[in-house]
Amino acid sequence: MTEKTFDVSNVEVLSGIVAYLQVEGAVKASDFYVKAFGAKDVARHPVDDQGRTMHIHLHLNGGSLMLSDSYPEHGVTPEVPAGFTLHLKVTDIEVLWKRAVDAGCDILLPLQDMFWGDRYGQLRDPFGVRWSMGETKT
């Protein structure tokens, strides 16, 4: 299999706040986000001899999402993701929800109509990251 690498020098960063996730298995996580959420892989550094990468850049739902592996030898130790949720404001939520669940996300809060008017639910991906999806019903 040929390793995917992309030029990282001229990639547009989308949105005002960009999540930068440190996960164990950043390459596998980025491939999962392409499959589960329809992310577009736009830039990545090659992997090292241990299969780690220092940077992957995805475009997802109109924004940028960046990932890397941990590098304990440089003070970047692995940590379990906690205390945050990545929210996707979407249209056609039923299709996108099914895609994420079929790809391997666990359902934390089933998709339902909420009191604030959204169809909403929460998921956890195989890398421990919590996601929510919401679609405003008109």
Structure-token match 């992310």, residue found: 39
pLDDT at 4: 63
The answer as to whether 130 is a domain residue is: yes
pLDDT digits (tens, 9 = 90+) for 112-133: 999 999 999 999 999 999 999 9
95 located within any domain: yes
Predicted pLDDT at 6: 62
Low-confidence ranges of the chain (pLDDT < 70): 1-9
Within-domain flag for 7:
no
Domain region containing 40: 19-74
Contacts 24+ apart (CB under 8 A), 5-14: 5/44, 5/45, 5/46, 6/41, 6/42, 6/43, 6/44, 7/43, 8/43, 8/44, 8/45, 8/55, 8/57, 11/42, 11/43, 11/57, 13/57, 13/64, 14/59, 14/62, 14/63, 14/64
Same domain, 65 and 92: no
Total domain count for the chain? 2
What pLDDT was estimated at residue 2? 47
> pTM (2 decimals)?
0.89
- CATH number, domain of 113, equals 3.30.720.110
